[in-house]
Structure 1
């Protein structure tokens, strides 16, 4: 499908490929605020539940999709066994995310056609109210773009100062922050297209970011969108639409 061609272009931008990173199977509690975004029946990206009506994800995940093509699955660690499946009413891209080259604004909101039923398997997560802190311990959840349909969870830490990760790639920008590998984890294989759109939760158990892409120069393992930079746009969009 057309989304596959677009994802291939995203991979070309990834100068480095992450060949080894830490992961583990995610528990049911880890999945409560995580959404799986599907193009018809094919997995595309993860996202996070902001409210009964709104999902936040990476902009490139839905750039070439139409609302009618998207299904959102919540309330499960296995997106082939949904707790709830919802249709999408509209895709709200950041106004500065014009194309794939505008990675610094790679964020989108999905407005659902019906409300998510919040219960013991499904809950919303609040946006962080503060900027990411250097060395802050983070938990990332998301899915592989492979046959494994089970949610994955990994731990990392934030590198706040982009000057510390200039070698990451030419994609470093004000709205991105870097992720450093946790030394306490065991190793597994994870590719640059995996976990995209996956929510990143910090020390306050609030949503600090979403995965933009995974890479691997030295100890740095990925780039993430800094959601605190987008909180005003997110809140205004959710109120107006």
Structure 2
């Protein structure tokens, strides 16, 4: 098994050498298309992604922050590009980082964490929270996608611009992983027939799915990228942390989720 969270490359002011790396098979995101995606950086270098939970907390993967000092981290929201500043983008320091207490850094079991930012995130057209939910097994063909700044080839650099790609199999065959690496009740095994795959710097990137949520069809986050066996072969599925399995911990730690289209918090 190969996982990818210990790579660090240039970010924002020091962009990655003009690289054009991206999520494998991805398409450039449009302004406001994915307002819930933050870049989590360490020492001003993009490390992984996540999603905005509420005005104070961001969800990401545990391996992104495990064993690292919070003082080295920042969260960038409202951004599409690491080269050109975007209107409304916010770079915010980190107040606290918490990973799930039973996280296993060998098998990546319970690969979920929360980052508390040092000041409230201001919501607007390009910065919004995103609800999470369970897979709708009846909603087939599945309308799902991943979003991130991942590399375009194995051992590549991160993208300088946010990209997304379609995922059409939310029940892929994960028999290539052993029983400790893939636990169905805690994880999602997902793949794509169109050659899309998460790659380096995509840990924590959300897997979204159009589902029946509270009685209406809407896009929700069902998982965050945890691990795969490399991205050179996009036919091998990726394992995502199944977020509803951690609902109690998320609420206990970070409080309730914010709803999309909320007003900016008062400072």
TM-score by length of 2: 0.72
Aligned counterpart, 2:183? 173
1:133 aligns with 2:137: yes
Distance 1:222 1:70, change over 3 A: same
Contact 1:132/1:158 (CA < 8 Å) preserved in 2? no
In 1, Cα distance between equivalents of 2:234 and 2:255 = 42
Measured against aligned partners, the alpha-carbon deviations of 1:4-47 in whole angstroms (never above 9, x if no partner) come to: x9626xxxxxxxxxxx9421111222330000000011110001
In 2, Cα distance between equivalents of 1:21 and 1:42 = 20
| Secondary structure of the structure 1 residue equivalent to 2:202 | coil
> Which one has the bigger helix percentage?
1
Correspondence 1:151-162 to 2 at 5 A: 151-160=162-171
Distance 1:6 1:37, change over 3 A: closer
Contact 1:37/1:44 (CA < 8 Å) preserved in 2? yes
Aligned counterpart, 1:148? 159
In 2, Cα distance between equivalents of 1:173 and 1:231 = 17
Distance 1:6 1:209, change over 3 A: closer
Distance 1:6 1:200, change over 3 A: closer
Q: Please list every run of 5 or more consecutive structure 1 residues that lacks an aligned counterpart in the other structure.
A: 9-19
Contact 1:21/1:221 (CA < 8 Å) preserved in 2? no
Aligned counterpart, 1:213? 227
For these two proteins, the number of residue pairs brought into alignment is 217
State the superposition RMSD in angstroms.
Answer: 2.7
Shift of 1:194: 3.9
Distance 1:118 1:218, change over 3 A: closer
In 2, Cα distance between equivalents of 1:180 and 1:148 = 21
